[in-house]
Every structure is written in structure tokens, then in C-alpha cells.
């Protein structure tokens, strides 16, 4: 996790790491985009309407946490 600057919360999302191979960089970027889109809307996913967290958000979270 990145250190927080004074007055700013810590950054929770990882940025694509230039040291990773391009396919993994794309995976991380796609996973982050999915998490950003599939957000909680009163207990349902705002995009797909499934119970939150939906399968896509959970899979994206798994991909990011594996890195």
C-alpha cells in the first residue's frame, strides 16, 4: 500500500507497475476499471443489479489482491 501524504488518505488502488509484463498490466487495469464501475448501490451492483459485491467485482478484487 502506498503511504499517505499529509492531509490525504492512503491510495487503495494500485497503479499498473511498469515492471510487470504488458499482459499483467492490462489485467490490473481492467480489474481496476471493473471495480470502479461495479459499485454498491443500496446493496445491489450499480451496473448489473446483482447482490453486491457482484461476481465481476469479486473477481476483479481477487485479481488485484493476487498482485
Q: What share of the chain is helix, strand, coil (3-state, %, to 5)?
A: 40, 5, 50
Q: What is the pLDDT of residue 7?
A: 53
Q: What is the pLDDT along the chain (67 residues), one digit of tens a residue?
A: 344 445 544 444 455 567 889 999 999 999 999 999 999 999 999 999 999 999 999 999 998 988 7
C-alpha cell at 63: 485479481
Distance between CA atoms of residues 20 and 10, nearest Å: 23
- Provide the residue ranges of all domains of the chain, joining segments of one domain with +: 22-65
pTM: 0.65
Residues in a beta bridge with 41: 44
Answer yes or no: are the C-beta atoms of 38 and 45 closer than 8 Å: yes
pLDDT recorded at residue 45: 96
Amino acid at each position: 500500500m502506498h503511504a499517505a501524504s499529509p492531509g490525504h488518505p492512503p491510495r487503495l488502488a494500485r497503479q499498473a507497475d511498469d515492471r510487470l509484463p504488458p499482459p499483467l498490466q492490462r489485467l490490473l487495469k481492467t480489474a481496476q476499471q471493473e471495480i470502479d464501475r461495479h459499485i454498491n448501490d443500496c446493496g445491489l451492483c450499480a451496473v448489473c443489479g446483482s447482490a453486491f459485491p457482484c461476481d465481476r467485482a469479486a473477481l476483479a478484487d481477487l485479481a488485484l489482491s493476487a498482485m
